[in-house]
Amino acid sequence: MGDAFQKVREELNRMGGTVASCPFRTRFHIMPPVGWLNDPNGLCQFRGVFHAYFQYSPLNVHGGGGYWGHCVSRDLLTWDYQEPVLAADTEEDKSGVYSGSALVEDGRMYLFYTGNVKQPGDYDYIDAGRISTQLLVESEDGQAMSAKEKLLGMEDYPEDVTQHVRDPKVWKENGAYHMILGARFRAWDGEGRRRDQGGALLYVSPDKHHWRLEGELTSQKDFGYMWECPDLFSLEGRRVLSFCPQGLASEPERFQNLYQSGYSLLEEGADPEDTFVEWDMGFDFYAPQTFEADDGRRILIGWSGMPDMEQSHRNLSVEHGWQHCLTLPAELVFREGRIFRMPVRELDELGWEPAEAEQGMYRWENKAVKLRMWEIGGEEQEIRIGAGENALVIHVSQDRTELSFRMPDGRIAPCGGGRDRRVGRAGKPVEQLLVLVDSSIAEVFVNDGELVFTTRIYLEPEERELWVKGTGKWKLEVI
Ligand code: FRU
């Protein structure tokens, strides 16, 4: 067991320097100390300190899992990296310590996660060959974990569910503990063809150890074959289901990524499909998780990445020994019938300095950039991040925002690593914009967080220019 953690130390010794000197390294965004990172896990505030765990493949920059990484912070922006807390080292989780969540109670941390097992052989890993077990570990300090306790196994899931059952999110409500799990249900269409249906399983427990099936949540419509990373919470009196449906057909201005992530408002009698809104319209966003901070804020962090994309969306950090990062922690608020998402207020407290852009151009090099625009009134604005044609162009007009790496001759700018174009529409003309660039990640918040676009961008420091063109008022700050 110790051996699995020793291997990570050795890899850090070997590659840590390369990662640390990478020009694409982020400053405020959680990134892997070495190797690959995906979903945020176990987000919580524990004894005043914020803990973020993440799906971690330190030994393979192309993923494959194996660990839960760990970092801690007092301000949600400066993170101290700790040793991993979980490794795939038992019978139940030997192929992966998959995603999960934290529950803090009476000064103790409880981490719920999925142990994945893929049996060797010629299996489809949907109906056969996979074992999904829900496990629990406990901790006094967020770092040292108790032995792993099995909570639910294949024998505990309903008959019509495939072997894909994972990503427990656990919370306490009205004196009982509740768990929601992502699931893939076996289903057939009218012609008898297999057409699986995504959904969620709901379990309830009096003591966090014994769980009973309480219900199922799914869509009566055709809404994806699998729902990953479900999260169920209340926001200003609304019941919100956040989840990642896989298998939705792409539309010109909706569902533009391979897999989707969004939320539905669970109103009486409404189907989750009816109210579904995507969390993010950019290229790189998936598997978000929320938690409630001690001050009552509902904070969301997503993975700024996407599974199964390595052919088309390259991350140029791979040559430097690492890949992917998490998004800025963002506060959720309910407004105008939907959820708005803006970076946590701690961001403004970092000590930003005003920057002068001469004729609309600023060279940001190794600085992080915060550009605010207002009084846009739906008029055309263009923000260009990059040098010459090797750039990301953010274009706003009326209710429409577009992020594009397409150069005038139709080719894709190298700094996008294969990313092309994304479009999103706000419910009203664009009035405000906030653009944040931290090295290789750009996040664009439209109309105070009504729409958000997250994308990775790979510019060498000497290519890091920012151009602003438009009629809106604007202010640039750097740090
Ligand atoms: C989402 C996901 C989860 C799973 C984890 C494995 O990106 O596929 O469903 O638990 O990643 O790393």
* Tokens found for residue 476: 């640039």
Position 163 scores a pLDDT of 98
Which residues fall within 8 angstroms of residue 359, CB to CB, at 6 or more apart? none
> Is there a contact between 244 and 227 (Cβ–Cβ < 8 Å)?
yes
- CB of 57 closer than 6 angstroms to any ligand 1 atom: no
Position 85 scores a pLDDT of 98
CA distance 441 to 35: 17
Confidence of residue 193 (pLDDT cuts 50, 70, 90): very high
Taking the CA of residue 65 as reference, the ligand 1 atom at the shortest distance is 12
Q: Is 291 exposed, middle or buried (0-12, 13-18, 19+ CB in 10 A)?
A: buried
- Of 305, 287, 228, 296, the C-alpha closest to 41 is 287
Closest residue (by CA) to atom 6 of ligand 1? 98
Confidence of residue 127 (pLDDT cuts 50, 70, 90): very high
Query: The whole model's pTM is what?
Result: 0.98
CA–centroid distance, 98 to ligand 1, in Å, is 6
Q: How do residues 53-76 score in pLDDT, each as one tens digit? A: 999 999 999 999 899 999 999 999
Position 267 scores a pLDDT of 87
Phi, psi of 34 (to 5 degrees): -160, 145
Position 453 scores a pLDDT of 98
Phi, psi of 471 (to 5 degrees): -95, -15
Taking the CA of residue 39 as reference, the ligand 1 atom at the shortest distance is 7
- CB of 323 closer than 6 angstroms to any ligand 1 atom: no
3-state secondary structure of 393: strand
Residue tagged 């990373």 (tokens): 229
Which residues fall within 8 angstroms of residue 317, CB to CB, at 6 or more apart? 22, 24, 25, 323, 440, 458
CA–centroid distance, 215 to ligand 1, in Å, is 23
CA distance 94 to 169: 21
- Of 379, 384, 387, the C-alpha closest to 432 is 379
> Is there a contact between 302 and 326 (Cβ–Cβ < 8 Å)?
yes
CA–centroid distance, 301 to ligand 1, in Å, is 15
Which residues fall within 8 angstroms of residue 171, CB to CB, at 6 or more apart? 103, 177, 178, 232, 233
CA distance 404 to 395: 8
Position 2 scores a pLDDT of 65
Beta bridge partners, 277, equal 263
pLDDT at 156 over 80: yes
> Is there a contact between 178 and 170 (Cβ–Cβ < 8 Å)?
yes
- CB of 307 closer than 6 angstroms to any ligand 1 atom: yes
CA–centroid distance, 336 to ligand 1, in Å, is 32
- CB of 98 closer than 6 angstroms to any ligand 1 atom: yes
- CB of 370 closer than 6 angstroms to any ligand 1 atom: no
* Tokens found for residue 285: 């966003």
Closest residue (by CA) to atom 9 of ligand 1? 228
Average pLDDT over all residues of the chain: 97
pLDDT at 437 over 70: yes
> Is there a contact between 322 and 19 (Cβ–Cβ < 8 Å)?
yes
Phi, psi of 93 (to 5 degrees): -130, 30
Beta strand segments in 190-312, E:
197-205, 212-218, 226-235, 238-246, 262-265, 277-278, 286-292, 298-304
Q: How do residues 303-317 score in pLDDT, each as one tens digit? A: 999 999 988 899 999
Instruction: For the beta carbon of residue 220, count every other beta carbon within 10 angstroms.
Output: 10
CA–centroid distance, 363 to ligand 1, in Å, is 38
- Of 340, 451, 333, 341, the C-alpha closest to 400 is 451
Categorise residue 126: left if φ over 0, alpha if ψ from -120 to 50, beta otherwise.
Answer: alpha
Q: How big is the chain, counted in residues?
A: 479
> Is there a contact between 200 and 180 (Cβ–Cβ < 8 Å)?
yes
pLDDT at 1 over 80: no
Phi, psi of 318 (to 5 degrees): -55, -40
Q: How do residues 228-282 score in pLDDT, each as one tens digit? A: 999 999 999 999 999 999 999 999 899 999 999 999 999 888 899 999 999 999 9
Taking CA atoms, 157 is separated from 168, 178, 193, 200, 226, in Å, by 13, 15, 23, 11, 15
Report the Cα–Cα distance between both ends of the chain, in Å, rounded: 42
- CB of 285 closer than 6 angstroms to any ligand 1 atom: no
CA distance 292 to 127: 36
CA distance 346 to 333: 16
- CB of 228 closer than 6 angstroms to any ligand 1 atom: yes
Would you please indicate which residues are annotated as catalytic (active-site) residues?
A: 39
